[in-house]
Amino acid sequence: MMRFLLLFSRQGRLRLQKWFTPMMDREKKKIIRDMTTMVLSRQPRTCNFMQWKDLKIIYKRYASLYFCLAIESQENELLALEVIHRYVELLDKYFGNVCELDIIFNFEKAYFILDEFLMGGEIQETSKQIVNRSIDASDMLQEDDSSEWYEVQLFG
């Protein structure tokens, strides 16, 4: 089972946080601090896998973003790397040549995509097409909603 997924920039600014188990805010903050310091201090060509408390931390750097995934000790690290890569592919498909700014300005969309791919710490859907289809369908629903909103605003 996966415990959490964090995305942060090279300067340590958090861009996305997904917790698969409920935790107190204090704990979350501490974990974020620990992760950012640990990952950012790694040399460029060191291993992508680390041990932290009872979890394994898998991180990968894509351009200016670090993707950091924590898994339980019996899980497979290479699989975790694949999960991270699959998520990046999904983001790329959705945003078209995704970059950090896309995630900064549309962070809720990034969450929605993640929610279609992973759930409860497990992989939800392994097919890229199906994930993309669900996201597109949800987006269509949103568009219908927003056109109505505009009318409500004008006429009270």
Partner 1 sequence: MALKIVKGSIDRMFDKNLQDLVRGIRNHKEDEAKYISTCIDEIKQELKQDNIAVKANAVCKLTYLQMLGYDVSWAAFNIVEVMSSSKFTYKRIGYLAASQCFHESTDVIMLTTNQIRKDLSSPNQYDTGVALTGLSCFVTPDLARDLANDIMTLMSHTKPYIRKKAVLIMYKVFLKYPESLRPAFPRLKEKLEDPDPGVQSAAVNVICELARRNPKNYLSLAPLFFKLMTSSTNNWVLIKIIKLFGALTPLEPRLGKKLIEPLTNLIHRALDLLYGMVSKKNLMEIVKKLMLHVDKAEGTTYRDELLTKIIDICSQSNYQYITNFEWYISILVELTRLEGTRHGHLIASQMLDVAIRVKAIRIFAVAQMATLLDNAHLLTGNMQRNGICEVLYAAAWICGEFSEHLENPMQTLEAMLRPKVATLPGHIQAVYVQNAAKLFSTVLKSQEGSTEGTAAQETSQLMIDRLPLFVQSANLEVQERASCILQLVKYIQKLQQKEVEVAEEVSALFAGELNPVAPKAQKKVPVPEGLDLDAWINEPPSESESEDEQPKAIFAKEEPKHSRSRHTEVDEKELARRREARKQEQANNPFYIKASPSSQKVYQESPGVEHIPVVQIDLTVPLKVPGLPMSDQYLKLEEERRQKERADKKKKEKKKRKEKRSGRGRRHDSGPESEEDITPAHMVDIVTEEMPEEYHLNIEPQKSLIFERSQK
- Using CB under 8 A as the criterion, which residues of the chain lie in contact with partner 1 when the complex forms? 1, 13-17, 19-20, 22-25, 29, 32, 44, 61-63, 74, 76, 78-79, 82, 97, 99-101, 104-105, 107-108, 111-112, 115, 119-120, 122-127, 130, 134, 137-138, 141-142, 145-146, 148-149, 152-154, 156
Our CB check for partner 1 shows the closer of 53 and 120 to be 120
- Determine the Cα–Cα distance for residues 80 and 32; give it in Å rounded to an integer: 19
Residue 49 CB, nearest approach to partner 1 (Å): 12
Residue 18 CB, nearest approach to partner 1 (Å): 8
Name the pairing type of β-strands 118-119 and 65-72. Answer: unpaired
Our CB check for partner 1 shows the closer of 38 and 81 to be 81
Our CB check for partner 1 shows the closer of 93 and 112 to be 112
Residue 149 CB, nearest approach to partner 1 (Å): 5
- For 43, the token pair is 């040399």
Q: How does DSSP assign 74-138, residue by residue? A: TS-HHHHHHHHHHHHHHHHHHHTS--HHHHHHTHHHHHHHHHHHEETTEE----HHHHHHHHHHH
Our CB check for partner 1 shows the closer of 54 and 154 to be 154
What is the amino acid identity at position 150? Y
How many Cα atoms occupy the beta-carbon half-sphere of 45 within 13 Å? 0
- Determine the Cα–Cα distance for residues 48 and 34; give it in Å rounded to an integer: 16
Residue 39 CB, nearest approach to partner 1 (Å): 15
Residue 98 CB, nearest approach to partner 1 (Å): 8
